[in-house]
Amino acid sequence: MDRENKVPNYNYNDNDEAHDIESDGKDVDVYSEPLLVKRRNTTSQIAIVGANVCPIESLDYEIAENELFKQDWRSRKKIQIFQYLLLKWAFALIVGLGTGLVGIFNNIAVENIAGFKLLLTTKLMLRHKYYKAFVAYAGCNLGLAAAAAALCAFIAPAAAGSGIPEVKAYLNGVDAHSILAPSTLFVKIFGSVLGVSAGFVVGKEGPMVHTGACIASLIGQGGSRKYHLTWRWLRYFKNDRDRRDLITCGAAAGVAAAFRAPVGGVLFALEEAASWWRSALLWRTFFTTAIVAIVLRAFIQLCSTGSCGLFGEGGLIMYDVSAAKVTYSAPDILAVILLGTIGGIFGSLYNYLVDKVLRTYSIINERGAAFKILLVISISLLTSISSYGLPWLATCIPCPTDVSVSCPNTDVSGNYKSFQCPSGHYNDLASLFLNTNDDAIRNLLSTSTVKEFHISSLFIFFGAVYCLGIITYGIAVPSGLFIPVILAGACYGRLVGRLFTSISKLDVGLFAVLGAASFLGGTMRMTVSLCVILLELTNDLLLLPLVMLVLLISKTVADVFNKGVYDQIVKLKGLPYMEAHAEPYMKHLVARDVVSGPLITFSGIEKVGNILHALRTTGHNGFPVIDEPPFSDAPALCGLVLRSHLLVLLKGKIFSRDMVPAGDEILHRFAAFDFAKAGSGKGIKVEDLDIEQEEMDMYVDLHPITNASPYTVVETMSLAKAAVLFRQLGLRHMCVVPKSQGRPPIVGILTRHDFMPEHVLGLYPHIRLRK
Amino acid sequence: MDRENKVPNYNYNDNDEAHDIESDGKDVDVYSEPLLVKRRNTTSQIAIVGANVCPIESLDYEIAENELFKQDWRSRKKIQIFQYLLLKWAFALIVGLGTGLVGIFNNIAVENIAGFKLLLTTKLMLRHKYYKAFVAYAGCNLGLAAAAAALCAFIAPAAAGSGIPEVKAYLNGVDAHSILAPSTLFVKIFGSVLGVSAGFVVGKEGPMVHTGACIASLIGQGGSRKYHLTWRWLRYFKNDRDRRDLITCGAAAGVAAAFRAPVGGVLFALEEAASWWRSALLWRTFFTTAIVAIVLRAFIQLCSTGSCGLFGEGGLIMYDVSAAKVTYSAPDILAVILLGTIGGIFGSLYNYLVDKVLRTYSIINERGAAFKILLVISISLLTSISSYGLPWLATCIPCPTDVSVSCPNTDVSGNYKSFQCPSGHYNDLASLFLNTNDDAIRNLLSTSTVKEFHISSLFIFFGAVYCLGIITYGIAVPSGLFIPVILAGACYGRLVGRLFTSISKLDVGLFAVLGAASFLGGTMRMTVSLCVILLELTNDLLLLPLVMLVLLISKTVADVFNKGVYDQIVKLKGLPYMEAHAEPYMKHLVARDVVSGPLITFSGIEKVGNILHALRTTGHNGFPVIDEPPFSDAPALCGLVLRSHLLVLLKGKIFSRDMVPAGDEILHRFAAFDFAKAGSGKGIKVEDLDIEQEEMDMYVDLHPITNASPYTVVETMSLAKAAVLFRQLGLRHMCVVPKSQGRPPIVGILTRHDFMPEHVLGLYPHIRLRK
């Protein structure tokens, strides 16, 4: 299986191969890596089942309260707890610094590369070498696009796309391997720079979020062993809970760096990215984004001296519309309501089309790296042709006399592009197309320039950008969704503003902001975070009530049609995302209904051979441990033992010939840290064990590593209630116990998979009808 | 027991009486009303045990999955679910409208009353009748203060204070009766108007939050039966979950109305008020605050025509500092760091002193209404003397020549108060003292007026306001903490700005904003929400990084010394607040350790007499139901039955002479709605039952009302883990089951009380040492 085949597509539900896995046993966590290990060659790194399924591992936020943990807790000193706390904040600081620096690097690089490209094109245009100008423009785009695609296709396929859905899934408890790997981080940073510079209708916001999460993960993993970047003192963070918190900070830092919106970043993490939230985390996230804000500010001050090349006002978007006076009356509100409604429809249509395009692209992308790059090249060519060709449709407009900026502008950015127009005239479409996306948005959002753009030009640009945005997402290039949506939305808003000039007195620049809000609300379906991000972007608080109104309307309208774009992509990628609420049909089922298949249990003191057999033949990640006479009066659920802990224990080889407790020796020989969770895919594997035949008949005491108090539900609890418990506590395994005594003490284990609609509705298809 | 004695003070932990209650049995929810009913006369309304303990009831967010519920769910039609959803939004709309209108009313009333008072004083001053002016000023203040105190003391003692701690406790699951009653709402609205008009150093923000919560509660309760305001269609909301959500919206609406900060309101609810949060709720809260913003805007536009009396710019605070240019360099940052550090120290000192004062005042207030009013009158006199007396210490300052406003100002509000000064001069202290608090803050935050206030004047005002703020909170008047803290903080900030003029080039107005931020961070310990509230208040987004920095520093510094002021008040009032994290010592204990006392269980089909006896002699709110042979093979935990459900069932009198199942009849005769939770203190009480002697020996089938899947934990689960489960899921009862079979199927029940540090450390005092 070639590396090129490693499309990051996790369709387990659309995939028969994955269904085979299910039949292994119902309490199995089917997405876990160890299971998949069995099904492929023993090479390390990314594993794919059926050519298009990435290994997915559930995360476990439950504290495994076994004896080792208790011993460790009892012996923990105050200074260690303090160190740990300090480390948490230090890590947040590093994540903030790192993300801020990447944000700065990204902006400086994009502004310089794209600036060089545009400058070259403009110069050739001025000399009327139109054909050469196109070749230069399209050639630059093509080169940059191909480089980005090559990075993505050959080094880290997981770096393609926005990354926000994957981060969202990770924070929900689904770890798709390699999604936060160092190679992904590398490709995400450089691929994003290349992709944005290549003139694609893509943003750097999604990639920045992903980058922030990757940086956080890198630190939280205890470095990367592959690249020899590990530090001993990072081991404190070797658990899923602390990693989750850190990655939440990283996601927030990403938004903060992308939009220069620190509060918006916190709210984004809270509203969209995170599935669990605590007040303490709010504060840490806030700290991280504050660091990002400080880093950005320091560098902008540094760059203001001109030492960053072409990096000027264009980088680090901040669209100041505060110059426009915000006063509105009833007709304005009516116009805004209409704007929001149509924006919502357009937004949901956007989601629908993105979904269709993604499905088509995944077929192409699955064929290999060559096809991926070919797709990128085609889209790049299409984009270049649109950007360079469409401005020819526009008529030259005489420069306004009352503006302070130069017109026509022959600089890198700016409002009034000369293009093919004679001196004293400008081409309004070229001002939008032949600019970086950031500058195009700035032009659309500019206030007090009502007639700068022809209505027909706005129509053309809107159509082009809306379509390009849809067909660009999904190609093998890091691509954010925010900028395309803002671009299309701002154009739409300005268009509506122009059409409504007779009714509404609101500035067209403000209409553009509201249009962007309506599109964002219609696609992303966020509320408070978008509101704050837009406020921080446009620096106009007085616009707040209108932005709120538009967001509420467009989200409400769009929710009628489909789900938010990120939820849709998560679903499309087959990531088993747990919703916060239980589905209505779950109230008709009980926990027992979705538990089935053979349950593998261990005795408190179990034969090594039995354990090894279970580990080899199943993919289960948790095994119930049952104490039986003579170790207890009646069979009793002792607890749950984790696969990873079993592997460590077996590797330690503290076996005995007889069935006798050996807890003390284990407690003496092992420390809790030995069982700390390694980074993704780095733990001991069953193949790493070297158990000899004679050891197979020996016994090992599982009590010290058994989590003696797993969360349990009775078999008659409604599935809805069990789902809420599972999701609220961030579990990986939930034991189902029998209602009455006298039966085996455990009925089965519920995992994330068992709550997925596909699984439940597969078992009970008639419920779908009743629903 | 007189009504005057009803001090809203819930010190159960400082109170031996309450400790008596504990001994009733360990699984009892000691704060519940029914228990307290037993201990007092059967009169309705507010009950007090031991003269200073209010009845506190835990809320239950668990869905009681009994057969009735399941029957109801199965039969629920799509249209009903849609109606319910619609109603949720309609209620949010009503809460928004109501809170917005109250906010407007509050502002108009305060501006007019205080304006009249200040106008009268100024007129007398201008005629040099200084003695008369003082009498008029102090007299007005006294009258208003006495009226506010009388309202509080006689009608609703629970309306005194901020209200935010109580709302916070409610949203944590602690319902202190009468805290959200209609009478409290009434007093809160009018008492707040009177109190603020009376010139106290109090704000309307806390009371607005409480008002919003009260309005939400009133709607969520299904109206008030006492005042004959009930509607049938409100019964959908008769459960704790929906009420909690609605009250969260109300709290957000309160902040939005008080500060004209809709996004800040949402974040306040999220960060400070709420203990549980869902994404869906975020959106609804956002909607509510948007409505508030629209209502406020509409009224401000209406009032701008001058139809609201003296209500002008002064009302609905919005301190625009966006005129000041925000540029800063290293020395500014150093100054800001120093400002934040000292602000944090002052903030925590504020909390410390407020705590001491509150403890002192509670002794005075407990003595009766007369003492309460006397205390209010003394503070009012002290405030009047300070406000009127201290400006005499200031020297007259010649009016600046370059200002656009009139100087000296003889109007209601304004910067330059003439006071005793000759024409062409103004008294800077009078500009601060003889103004409404809103106007004083506006003056302190005014930009480009560096030398308006003498440094000595700022010192005097800071000292006076800091002390007055501390001694005013706790008197029997609705009093918010935000405004006193902002006032003192802004003055402190301006002072620092003045002292640092040589080092820092930042405008003193901006220093005042940062000072306010540092004090707010030091007392309230919020981060994101304060940040956004301040941004929305001052309309200057460029200040954001500095505000974030100050908040982070001041909160960090203050956290070293003590807890946030609201947490402190919650603790002082003895409200059993569940923290989000478990205390470290809880890891050393297991669930079984804190469960003790006789456990009262029922059989699946139980004798009426036994139930009645249990209801009468205990205060338990949940009873485990155990199925025994012949109804099951072995004793098994059937589930949990709630007191309120038992009372409804007993009132229905579906008894049988023999021990036979009667589930079908009960399911036929009752609907789930009959068991819906009534508003606070409105359910059936055990005294309302009319069971005859012969019925005592009959049997009643408890199965239909037994929640067959209560959340359970094994006895060996660590208390920390159990606490997280309890808090995360918002439980009222948690069943502790035995580890091994062959024992009775339930060990005990854990309630909120069992997790309180007082209880745990009372049982295991040695842990305190180890901690």
B531-552 residue pLDDT tens: 889 888 887 777 888 898 999 9
Number of C-beta neighbours around residue A658 at 10 A: 8
With a cut of 50, say whether residue B705 has pLDDT above it: yes
Cα first-last separation, chain B: 42
Unique residue bearing structure tokens 């990096």: A311
With a cut of 60, say whether residue B39 has pLDDT above it: no
With a cut of 90, say whether residue A285 has pLDDT above it: yes
With a cut of 90, say whether residue B3 has pLDDT above it: no
Residues of B with Cβ-Cβ distance to A289 under 8 angstroms: 548
With a cut of 50, say whether residue A25 has pLDDT above it: no
Q: How far apart are CA A637 and CA A132, in angstroms?
A: 77
pLDDT grade for A661, boundaries at 50, 70 and 90: confident
Most confidently modeled range among A4-18, B311-325, B519-533: B519-533
Mean pLDDT within B592-617: 88
Lowest mean pLDDT among A489-503, B96-110, B740-754: B740-754
Largest CA distance in chain B: 98
Q: Give which of B270, B267, B259, B265 is closest to B316, Cα–Cα.
A: B259
With a cut of 90, say whether residue B299 has pLDDT above it: no
Are the C-beta atoms of B570 and B168 separated by less than 8 Å? yes
* HSE toward the beta carbon, residue A511, CA cutoff 13 A: 27
With a cut of 90, say whether residue A222 has pLDDT above it: no
Q: What are phi and psi of B213, to 5 degrees?
A: -65, -40
Q: Give which of B485, B702, B688, B722 is closest to B605, Cα–Cα.
A: B702
Query: Measured between CB atoms, which of A266, A278, A297 is closest to B580?
Result: A278
Which residue is closest to B527 within chain A, CA to CA? Answer: A283
Query: Could you name the CATH architecture of A330-573?
Result: Orthogonal Bundle (1.10)
pLDDT grade for A123, boundaries at 50, 70 and 90: confident
Residues 31-70, chain B: which have Cβ within 8 Å of A? 63, 65, 70
With a cut of 60, say whether residue A32 has pLDDT above it: no
Average pLDDT, chain B: 83
Contacts of residue A659, defined as CB under 8 A and 6 or more positions apart, other chains included, come to A605, A699
Q: How far apart are CA B510 and CA B518, in angstroms?
A: 12
Domain boundaries along the sequence of chain B: 87-304, 330-573, 584-767
Q: How far apart are CA B562 and CA A22, in angstroms?
A: 53
Q: How far apart are CA A412 and CA A442, in angstroms?
A: 14
Does the beta carbon of A725 lie under 8 angstroms from any beta carbon of chain B?
A: yes
Record: contact B535-A549, CB cut-off 8 A: no
Give me Rg for the CA atoms of chain B: 28
Chain centre distance of CA A72:
35
A–B CB contacts, 8 A cutoff, strictly below: 182
Record: contact A545-B713, CB cut-off 8 A: no
pLDDT grade for B376, boundaries at 50, 70 and 90: very high
Mean pLDDT within B430-436: 88
The dotted CATH code for B584-767 is 3.10.580.10
Record: contact B294-A527, CB cut-off 8 A: no
**Confidence (pLDDT) at B373:** 93
**Confidence (pLDDT) at B138:** 95
With a cut of 70, say whether residue B60 has pLDDT above it: yes
Q: Give which of A708, A683, A672, A682 is closest to A236, Cα–Cα.
A: A672
Mean pLDDT within A452-464: 92
A424-448: pLDDT as tens digits: 888 889 888 988 888 888 888 888 7
Looking at chain A, the whole-number percentage of residues with pLDDT higher than 90 is 37
Q: How far apart are CA B248 and CA A337, in angstroms?
A: 27
Mean pLDDT within B400-408: 71
Are the C-beta atoms of B407 and B423 separated by less than 8 Å? no
With a cut of 90, say whether residue B75 has pLDDT above it: no
**Confidence (pLDDT) at A410:** 61
pLDDT grade for B47, boundaries at 50, 70 and 90: very low
**Confidence (pLDDT) at B561:** 94
With a cut of 90, say whether residue A115 has pLDDT above it: no
Average pLDDT, chain A: 83
CA B746, B750, B751, B754 torsion: positive or negative?
Answer: positive
Contacts of residue A573, defined as CB under 8 A and 6 or more positions apart, other chains included, come to A8, A9, A10, A11, A165, A166, A169, A176
Does the beta carbon of A80 lie under 8 angstroms from any beta carbon of chain B?
A: no
Are the C-beta atoms of B40 and B47 separated by less than 8 Å? yes
ipTM exceeds 0.90: no
**Confidence (pLDDT) at B19:** 33
Q: Using omega within 30 degrees of 0 as the cis cutoff, is the peptide bond preceding B630 cis?
A: yes
Contacts of residue B543, defined as CB under 8 A and 6 or more positions apart, other chains included, come to B321, B326, B510, B513, B514, B535
Does the beta carbon of A322 lie under 8 angstroms from any beta carbon of chain B?
A: yes
**Confidence (pLDDT) at A674:** 79
Q: Looking at this protein, which amino acid is placed at residue A507?
A: D
Are the C-beta atoms of B598 and B592 separated by less than 8 Å? no
Mean pLDDT within B347-376: 93
Mean pLDDT within B183-202: 94
pLDDT grade for A154, boundaries at 50, 70 and 90: very high
CA A109, A112, A116, A117 torsion: positive or negative?
Answer: positive
Closest approach of B279 to chain A, Cα-based (Å): 6
Lowest mean pLDDT among A369-383, A631-645, A757-771: A757-771
With a cut of 80, say whether residue B579 has pLDDT above it: yes
Unique residue bearing structure tokens 């956004």: B532
Q: For residue A622, give the DSSP letter.
A: E
Strands (E), B312-458: 397-398, 425-426
Structure tokens at B446: 């005014």
Residues of A with Cβ-Cβ distance to B267 under 8 angstroms: 267, 528
Q: Give which of B178, B335, B192 is closest to B257, Cα–Cα.
A: B192
B627: β partners = B636
Q: How far apart are CA A538 and CA A529, in angstroms?
A: 14
Does the beta carbon of A713 lie under 8 angstroms from any beta carbon of chain B?
A: yes
Unique residue bearing structure tokens 């920095």: B549
Q: Give yes or no on whether B87-304 and B330-573 have one common fold.
A: yes
Looking at chain A, the whole-number percentage of residues with pLDDT higher than 70 is 87
**Confidence (pLDDT) at B321:** 76
Q: How far apart are CA A246 and CA A380, in angstroms?
A: 36
The dotted CATH code for B87-304 is 1.10.3080.10
Query: Measured between CB atoms, which of B270, B278, B548 is closest to A290?
Result: B548
Number of C-beta neighbours around residue A375 at 10 A: 21
With a cut of 90, say whether residue B64 has pLDDT above it: no
Q: For residue A766, give the DSSP letter.
A: H
Record: contact A548-B293, CB cut-off 8 A: yes
**Confidence (pLDDT) at B11:** 36
Q: How far apart are CA A222 and CA A236, in angstroms?
A: 8
Does the beta carbon of B146 lie under 8 angstroms from any beta carbon of chain A?
A: no
Most confidently modeled range among A313-327, A739-753, B378-392, B750-764: B378-392
Q: For residue B237, give the DSSP letter.
A: G
Q: For residue A404, give the DSSP letter.
A: S
Mean pLDDT within A120-130: 87
Record: contact B531-A263, CB cut-off 8 A: yes
**Confidence (pLDDT) at B231:** 62
Residues of B with Cβ-Cβ distance to A640 under 8 angstroms: none
With a cut of 50, say whether residue B73 has pLDDT above it: yes
